[in-house]
Structure 1
């Protein structure tokens, strides 16, 4: 790996040559395979000067990506572990949900989404396009505020108390371009919690409705939400049982993640109801 970047080599955002990022990546690859490694071993393996390795390790440690142990050993840092754990969780919920999304898609013929929370937004991590209507509002990798759409609303309604309080504070400070007043959204959160699923009736796209249900893991923690979207008359027609089918799909995905529904789950008021 020894060698200098050419004068015309591309640079990272802070001006460092991309070659340094390659070296940092190589260090992390080694630490991922071996629990603890000394700087001397890294220098020998990568054929780099120890001074270069020490400098890279110090920079990575400042970011929380590596940490020093005893006798000059280095290992993966807690921050990088958290990032990796988050990626694994997203992969796990997608893997658990996808077969049930496919079944819901086959049964309904409508667009099916899997969303997870990122901050105060819901991000689409999987999408199966409908045969009749292909929603343009939420593409794969796209995001929406938690109060807009059935999947995001299901996430907002079943999120922990601190997340809901953060959303309330943000809404009070910044308001919202769409989706109603804080009182209206608060009432919709209560209704969603009571019936176990969210309904979006044209609050994203005219003529389009959706229903969404939460997905949980073995710790009874919210992982995300499944939703199905299509023409309003189709989605909201009770004869099509789309709310029931969506809840069933979400519950099956949750069970595959080890969730066991508490006996008093549906109809339970939000913990913050007494504070509003």
Structure 2
């Protein structure tokens, strides 16, 4: 087995535990479709380097402290974005009563840098530091819409996309939606990740008018969409404008207009590329 293949398998173990929280070797073996002997060797090496730790009873494993150390280093690289976004996120959460997310793209996934829980309901998906595919909700689809065309093609060209609910968009539906998101400057998603939950997301730009992140608000469909959809959309766009301004963007409207043209988009859509390698 080559070192690259071993690394791929180790990453698969880490990714599974990131989603599952903890798992037994048998569960990991089934999840990543590898023989138990291979999984035991991977676990032994990952434990040795601090990337995995056994649970108290020794039957299962979860992510280890070494990953926290590395994550702290990565998080520091986003400090300007998080500090710039925090006041607008707090205001948006207060004004809507809903859960607010700040997300960036890492590869083909949306990573949550920050979240503020709403007063009305706890949206359980996407904890701080967690991730979802780039079609999973309004914030994620904003990240996909403003990514460079090569990233879009790679994502949409996958053999299949995760299906969360009957309303989760297909690749064909996403192709039609991405241009609309850039033209409108926002994205609305309904029932596509969690039944009964809707979300509105908008892009964030920096001083060079380059796309940096997405801010979104999520809550029960009646609160986000039916009763005050125009108000929610206005508040989200205002929050995105405020965060962009804090990052040095002098004209949010101009940044949105420029980003609507595919010819003007570059590879800055993946903020995480500089932090995650």
| Range class of TM-score, shorter chain | 0.5 to 0.7
Aligned to 2:236: 246
Check conservation: 1:207, 1:232, Cα contact below 8 A: yes
SS of 1:139's equivalent? coil
Distance apart, 1:159 and its partner CA: 1.7
2:122 to 134, 155, 158: 134
Counterpart check, 1:156 vs 2:144: yes
Extract unaligned runs of 5+ from structure 1.
1-11, 19-82
Structure showing greater radius of gyration is 1
> Partners of 1:121 and 1:193 in 2: how far apart?
19
The one of 255, 258, 269 equivalent to 2:248 is 258
Q: Which has the higher contact order (CA 8 A, sep 6+)?
A: 2
Pick which of 232-241 and 119-128 moved more: 232-241
Kindly indicate whether the alpha-carbon contact (under 8 Å) linking 1:214 and 1:224 is maintained by their aligned counterparts in 2: yes
TM-score (normalizing by structure 1): 0.63
RMSD: 2.8
Q: CA deviation at 1:106?
A: 1.0
Residue of structure 1 equivalent to 2:207: 218
Could you tell me how far apart the structure 2 residues matched to 1:183 and 1:97 are? 33
Instruction: Give how far 1:166 is off.
Output: 2.4
CA distance in 2, matches of 1:239, 1:14: 47
Q: CA deviation at 1:176?
A: 3.4
C-alpha change, 1:214 and 1:17, in structure 2 (3 Å) is: closer
Report how far residue 233 of structure 1 moved.
1.1
**Partners of 1:17 and 1:196 in 2: CA distance:** 44
- Taking structure 2 as the reference length, what is the TM-score of the superposition? 0.63
- CA drift at 1:122: 0.6
Could you tell me which runs of 5 or more consecutive residues in structure 2 were left unpaired when the two chains were aligned. 1-43, 51-70, 265-277
Aligned to 1:176: 162
Does the CA contact (< 8 Å) of 1:209 and 1:231 recur in 2? yes
Aligned residues: 196
Could you list the per-position Cα deviations for residues 150-177 of structure 1 after superposition, in whole angstroms to 9, with x for gaps in the alignment? 11011111122332232223x3x34433
